[in-house]
Amino acid sequence: MRLLIVEDNEELAGLLAKGLKAAGYESDILSTVAEADSVLDTTFYAALILDLGLPDGDGLALLREVRSRNNPIPVLVLTARGGLNDRVQGLRSGADDYLVKPFALEELVARLEAQLRRPGQLLGNSLRIANLEFDTRNRQASIDDQPQALSAREIAVLELLMRSKGRVVSKKQVEDHLFGHSGEVGSNAIEVYVHRLRKQLSERGARVQVHTIRGVGYLIAEQT
């Protein structure tokens, strides 16, 4: 799972990335609202760790922008501002949780994991494309409201694609999602899982298509 840290304090960002890595999460670090805005528009991250005081603007503005695009990414806000007003404003802007600096890394990881365990809450519990629905509570896929039995790997790939609806998921992200970043994976293993999922969906009449975007990754969309 890959996380995005948006924090302009290099030292803190580095410590966070290191601590998260020790807990099993890869992360990318960005330091401005502008960079984060454009990257979040095109790249799937499992969660966003967001500082509020950034050199080119307020993290809350970024958060509102992200939510206005219906991006359901879990967001954990980091801030030095501990006042109640800021906290309320942060949550109103679409933050899922809030940590006031300084905080213990263990607490950050615990809060993050709580968010990752209950994803999809902003869009309700169900993700839908055409006649394909994915319930994030019980990780059940349905086609025309009929529950489908899929393998654990197929479900995992489908969930990642559905959560990233409208955005391209890289092969590496699929790999991290299925095997963690430590796993040794055969070079065409991901293609095999995507191929199997595509076949299952097509045979069962889902009106969706899993596109391969050569050299970039995969994208699920309504069949045209």
Q: Does residue 86 touch Ca ion according to CB under 5 A?
A: no
**Least distance to Ca ion, CB of residue 60, Å:** 13
**Least distance to Ca ion, CB of residue 68, Å:** 23
Q: Does residue 8 touch Ca ion according to CB under 5 A?
A: yes
**Least distance to Ca ion, CB of residue 169, Å:** 30
Residue nearest to Ca ion according to CB distances in the complex? 53
At position 194, the amino acid (one-letter code) is V
Nearer to Ca ion, 37 or 51 (CB): 51
**Least distance to Ca ion, CB of residue 86, Å:** 14
Question: Residue 1: which H helix or E strand, with range?
Answer: none
Q: Does residue 51 touch Ca ion according to CB under 5 A?
A: yes
Helix locations, the chain, DSSP H: 10-22, 33-42, 59-68, 84-92, 105-117, 152-163, 171-179, 189-203
CB count, 10 Å around CB of 11?
A: 8
What is the C-alpha to C-alpha distance for residues 141 and 127, in angstroms, rounded to an integer? 9
Nearer to Ca ion, 77 or 132 (CB): 77
Exposure string (b/e) for 159-173, b if CB count within 10 Å is 16 or more? Answer: bbbbbbbebbbbbeb
Helices H / strands E in the chain, number of each:
8, 14
Nearer to Ca ion, 33 or 161 (CB): 33
Whether residue 171 contacts residue 110, with contact meaning beta carbons closer than 8 Å, is answered with no
Whether residue 205 contacts residue 191, with contact meaning beta carbons closer than 8 Å, is answered with no
**Least distance to Ca ion, CB of residue 50, Å:** 10
Nearer to Ca ion, 10 or 107 (CB): 10
**Least distance to Ca ion, CB of residue 101, Å:** 9
Report the residue from 28, 53, 140, 221 that binds Ca ion according to the rule CB under 5 A.
53
Q: Is 93 exposed, middle or buried (0-12, 13-18, 19+ CB in 10 A)?
A: buried
Whether residue 102 has a cis bond before it, omega within 30° of 0: yes
Total number of residues binding Ca ion (CB under 5 A)? 3
Instruction: Please identify, among the stretches 13-21, 46-54, 65-73, 211-219, the one whose residues bind Ca ion according to the rule CB under 5 A.
Output: 46-54
Instruction: Please identify, among the stretches 52-60, 69-77, 91-99, 108-116, the one whose residues bind Ca ion according to the rule CB under 5 A.
Output: 52-60
Nearer to Ca ion, 19 or 53 (CB): 53
Nearer to Ca ion, 61 or 168 (CB): 61
Which residue ranges make up the site for Ca ion (CB under 5 A)? 8, 51, 53
